[in-house]
Structure 1
Amino acid sequence: MTTFRVPQRMDFSTVAPKVFKAVLALDAAAREGLDPVLLELVQIRTAQINRCAYCLDYHTSDARKAGESEERVHQLSAWEESSLYTEEERAALALTEAVTLLPGGVSDEVYAEAARHFGEKELAQLIALILTANAWNRMNVTTHKTPGAA
């Protein structure tokens, strides 16, 4: 079997190191206080929506290291139809989709459900995580950063 490899357009970290380091700093700050498994679920779902192969590979690996099951990773793209996710995770995933897709904004219902499960500080961290995941996805998709690329 021959593997197709999409050529990487640029190494963003080399070409724009200040921007790259700023996104790394935002990423580190956004992660503070969030459950490691929830964090990976949100990042995987964001990467699924944005079709970021690099981030899918990276975060599914990290999710497994954090103790996430294969079954939950596989069903994440259909989380609304799955019974494997907690109410808190479902609220975070709904918020992830609303913030990532953003065509009609984040509805009051989605925001209220997330606020019901997360305190104000944790909700702010979750929103920051979603924003950061989207930034990474857009950077990696645009530059064709693919799994196995340096």
Structure 2
Amino acid sequence: MTTLQIPERMNFSAVAPQVFKAVLALDAAARAGLDPVLLELVQIRASQVNRCAYCIDYHTSDARKAGETEERIYQLSAWEESSLYTEKERAALALTEAATLLPQGVSDEVYNEAAKHFDEKELAQLIALIVTVNAWNRMNVTTRKTPGTE
């Protein structure tokens, strides 16, 4: 089987190291206190919505390391139709999609459902995580970061 080779446009971390380090710092701060499995589910889902192959590859690998099952990873793109996710995870995934697809807006219903499952600090961390993964997605999609590379 021959695969299509899609060339990277640039090595963002080499060209803009200050920006890259700043996003790394934001990423580290956003992760603080969040459940590692939930964190990866959110990052995978945002990456699916944004069609970021690099981040999907990266975060599915990290999700497996955090103990996530193959079945839940496979069904994540259809989480609303799956019975495999908790109410808390579903609230986080709904907020992830709403905050990723901003033209649709983040409804009070979606926000309030997330607020029922996360205290205010956790909710702030979750929002920061969603912001961060969207930043990574946009950098990596724009520069065509190749899946499987560091």
With normalisation by structure 1, the TM-score equals 0.98
- 1:54 to 2:51 alignment: no
Identify the residue that residue 97 of structure 2 maps to in structure 1. 97
Over the residues paired in the alignment, what is the CA RMSD in angstroms? 0.7
**Counterparts of 1:114 and 1:12 in 2: how far apart (Å)?**
33
- 1:109 to 2:109 alignment: yes
Percent identity between matched residues is 83
Identify the residue that residue 30 of structure 1 maps to in structure 2. 30
1:5 is displaced (CA, Å) by: 1.5
Q: Give the unaligned 5+ runs of structure 1.
A: none
Letter in 2 for 1:66: A
1:8 is displaced (CA, Å) by: 0.3
Letter in 2 for 1:5: Q
**Counterparts of 1:39 and 1:124 in 2: how far apart (Å)?**
13
**Counterparts of 2:148 and 2:83 in 1: how far apart (Å)?**
33
Identify the residue that residue 118 of structure 1 maps to in structure 2. 118
- 1:83 to 2:83 alignment: yes
Q: Give the unaligned 5+ runs of structure 2.
A: none
Structure 1's consecutive aligned runs of 4 or more residues displaced over 6 angstroms after TM superposition are none
State the SS of the aligned residue for 2:100: helix
State the SS of the aligned residue for 1:26: helix
1:149 is displaced (CA, Å) by: 3.2
1:148 is displaced (CA, Å) by: 2.6
**Counterparts of 2:25 and 2:80 in 1: how far apart (Å)?**
32
- 1:130 to 2:130 alignment: yes
Identify the residue that residue 142 of structure 2 maps to in structure 1. 142
- 1:7 to 2:7 alignment: yes
**Counterparts of 2:94 and 2:104 in 1: how far apart (Å)?**
14
With normalisation by structure 2, the TM-score equals 0.98
**Counterparts of 2:32 and 2:65 in 1: how far apart (Å)?**
18
Check the 8 A contact 2:52/2:141 in 1, yes or no.
yes
State the SS of the aligned residue for 1:58: helix
User: What is the number of equivalent residue pairs in this alignment?
Assistant: 150
**Counterparts of 1:6 and 1:149 in 2: how far apart (Å)?**
13
Deviations 1:30-75 (A, max 9, x none): 0000000000000000000000000000000000010100000000
State the SS of the aligned residue for 1:129: helix
